[in-house]
Structure 1
Amino acid sequence: MDGTMEPFLLLTLLLIAVGAGVIGALFGLGGGIIFIPVLTILYGLDATSAAAASLVGIVATSTGSASGYVRKGVSNIRLGMMMEITTCAGAIIGAAVAIYLDNTVLLVIFSCVMLYSGFKMAVSPEKLTVEHEEGNPMTFEYEDPTADPPRQKYTVKNVKSGMALCTVAGAVSSMTGVGGGAIKVPLMNIHMHVPVKVASATSSYMIGITAFSGAVIYFIHGDILLDVAAAVAVGAYVGALIGTRIASKVNAKSLKRYMSVVFFAIAAIMFCEAGGIL
């Protein structure tokens, strides 16, 4: 798309971005899974411009949600930084591997991962918050107004294998162009025994760092459409602030159920894209 976008289209995009920001903040996904199809299918942007604007939106979502989650003590900063190291390494590997693999194969693989994650999130009970070990350096606590008691403790398990699997998450997200939060949230919750609210909040914190790096490269290359990026960023930031407020009022069991539905939807979109329907 050349030139500037009409004001009405920008306003519509801003409203859509608000919704994407809410979903991104609630589930730690960043909103990229919504930005990409909206910008390419509805607004006719090429893949590069859509990816560039999507990264700006993810940074805005992360900024809006992470600030609230960190202030409330929900995000696990230490765990996030540890996992971000291997995620970034995986992203570099994924970018190199993607050159030699067919995009359809990558989309199908990602869809299968999403189906599995959605199923596990739906059937795995949220009993992880009571699993903690006093004196363990990987034991943390956070505030959950919907829980009893509100102050919950948990111990992160399988740290080394979780970090290793984050390399896969980074690689898959890099190869498919979809944020790694869709993989990291169930990974932290199911494999590492991190409560789902903490996993979502920590993912929101992490994806902003990764997305910012990519957005800078796109900006240097002149691929960011400033009016589109501005609408996406403002909407996503506002949506993220709303999403963090909603998250504090939703109990963990409901959040996991809603998240599984989102993952199934993501899988359906990716399967459609792989089949050439989208």
Structure 2
Amino acid sequence: MLILALLAVGIGASIIGTIFGIGGGIIFIPILTVLLKLSANEAVAVSLVGIIATSTGAASYYVKQGASNVRLGLLLEITTTLGAMMGAFLAIYVANWILLCVFACVLIYSGATMILKKERVIADADDGSDMCFYYCDEKDPAEKRYKIINIKSGLAVCTGAGVLSSMTGVGGGTIKVPLMNVHMHVPIKVASPTSSYMIGITAFMGAIIYFIQGELLLDYAAAIAVGALIGSFIGTRVAKMIDAGPMRRYFSILLFAISIIIFLEAGGIL
């Protein structure tokens, strides 16, 4: 029964995580800690493995379809991965409730920004810059053009996203998707697939540290990973049917819901 429950959790969390590029950690963590009574570090370690599986399944589809901006993802992963390694070590020394409250406030700000500000994509940006790209939305097959800006500040913020991802197990996609969409002007239909591609690399670096420290429960992780892989295949098919406008609103609502869960966890209610 435990294995079946973990498989179901992996599938459900991965579907949501794949659609929005967040990995599903926000669902893994409360269930593993509240219902299955794992310690915080054990839950984070298992969650990171689930995120790796989600990213693997989602990225295999998104990259093949050309939805992920692989070049941008690898660039941002330079600082994100460093942050993830730092976070896995810092988790021992930083009070968890402080980190969770800061994280929740960042999510509220990101969600409000995505609702209040329209998507800004520099459409007429083909100026010869190596940061100009094209993408096609399956809901609107006409090829669209966009230019990525604010690269340096984006790299800096991704360091913090990596730290938070590794320390909380929630997944840095909750920060990286709004960062790419609002700050770097990457279309939401590119930002989410790119985040799905990135989060697996970040989670892998954190999971290695937890494994070395003996915090990773392999039986729990295996069941979650199988379910997450199945869920990622479903989530990619659902994501392509959602329009960009509603997708930003849904993502904002999801961020608000996640922030409430995190505040409850920080207060010891969950």
TM-score higher than 0.5: yes
Cα drift, residue 272 of structure 1: 0.5
- Write out aligned runs for 1:239-250 (5 A): 239-250=231-242
- Write out aligned runs for 1:107-186 (5 A): 107-128=100-121, 130=123, 132-147=125-140, 149-186=141-178
| TM-score (norm. length: structure 1) | 0.91
Q: Does the CA contact (< 8 Å) of 1:162 and 1:188 recur in 2?
A: yes
After superposition, the Cα gap between the structure-2 partners of 1:131 and 1:54, relative to the gap in structure 1 and judged at 3 Å, is farther
Could you list the per-position Cα deviations for residues 108-133 of structure 1 after superposition, in whole angstroms to 9, with x for gaps in the alignment? Answer: 11111010111112222234263533
In structure 1, what is the Cα distance between the partners aligned to 2:4 and 2:87? 35
Cα drift, residue 276 of structure 1: 1.2
Cα drift, residue 170 of structure 1: 1.9
After superposition, the Cα gap between the structure-2 partners of 1:19 and 1:245, relative to the gap in structure 1 and judged at 3 Å, is same
Identity %: 58
After superposition, the Cα gap between the structure-2 partners of 1:229 and 1:176, relative to the gap in structure 1 and judged at 3 Å, is closer
Cα drift, residue 176 of structure 1: 3.3
Q: Which runs of 5+ in 1 are unaligned?
A: 1-7
Q: Which runs of 5+ in 2 are unaligned?
A: none
Could you list the per-position Cα deviations for residues 238-260 of structure 1 after superposition, in whole angstroms to 9, with x for gaps in the alignment? Answer: 11111111111111111111111
Question: Which residue of 1 is the match for residue 254 of structure 2?
Answer: 262
SS at match of 1:10: helix
Question: Which residue of 2 is the match for residue 76 of structure 1?
Answer: 69
In structure 2, what is the Cα distance between the partners aligned to 1:94 and 1:51? 12
> Which letter does structure 1 place at the counterpart of 2:269?
I
Question: Which residue of 2 is the match for residue 234 of structure 1?
Answer: 226
After superposition, the Cα gap between the structure-2 partners of 1:29 and 1:167, relative to the gap in structure 1 and judged at 3 Å, is same
Does residue 1:36 correspond to 2:25, yes or no? no
Q: Does the CA contact (< 8 Å) of 2:21 and 2:177 recur in 1?
A: yes
In structure 2, what is the Cα distance between the partners aligned to 1:204 and 1:172? 16
SS at match of 1:141: strand
In structure 1, what is the Cα distance between the partners aligned to 2:150 and 2:224? 37
> Which letter does structure 2 place at the counterpart of 1:128?
V
- Choose which of 191, 194, 209 in structure 1 pairs with 2:186: 194
SS at match of 2:134: strand
Cα drift, residue 101 of structure 1: 3.7
Cα drift, residue 220 of structure 1: 3.9
After the TM superposition, which of the residue ranges 115-124 and 182-191 deviates more from structure 2?
115-124
Could you list the per-position Cα deviations for residues 140-199 of structure 1 after superposition, in whole angstroms to 9, with x for gaps in the alignment? Answer: 11221112x532221111111111221222233334332111101100000000011211
Cα drift, residue 43 of structure 1: 1.3
Cα drift, residue 12 of structure 1: 1.9
Q: Does the CA contact (< 8 Å) of 2:166 and 2:203 recur in 1?
A: no
After superposition, the Cα gap between the structure-2 partners of 1:269 and 1:99, relative to the gap in structure 1 and judged at 3 Å, is same
Does residue 1:56 correspond to 2:49, yes or no? yes
After superposition, the Cα gap between the structure-2 partners of 1:110 and 1:70, relative to the gap in structure 1 and judged at 3 Å, is same
In structure 2, what is the Cα distance between the partners aligned to 1:168 and 1:264? 20
Cα drift, residue 16 of structure 1: 1.8
Question: Which residue of 2 is the match for residue 5 of structure 1?
Answer: none
Cα drift, residue 275 of structure 1: 1.1
Does residue 1:105 correspond to 2:95, yes or no? no
Question: Which residue of 2 is the match for residue 87 of structure 1?
Answer: 80
- Choose which of 16, 20, 34 in structure 2 pairs with 1:23: 16
Q: Does the CA contact (< 8 Å) of 2:162 and 2:202 recur in 1?
A: no
Question: Which residue of 2 is the match for residue 253 of structure 1?
Answer: 245
SS at match of 1:114: helix
- Choose which of 251, 259, 267 in structure 2 pairs with 1:275: 267
SS at match of 1:259: helix
- Choose which of 184, 201, 218 in structure 1 pairs with 2:210: 218
In structure 1, what is the Cα distance between the partners aligned to 2:52 and 2:267? 30
After the TM superposition, which of the residue ranges 188-197 and 227-236 deviates more from structure 2?
227-236
| TM-score (norm. length: structure 2) | 0.93
Q: Does the CA contact (< 8 Å) of 1:22 and 1:242 recur in 2?
A: yes
SS at match of 1:150: strand
SS at match of 2:126: coil
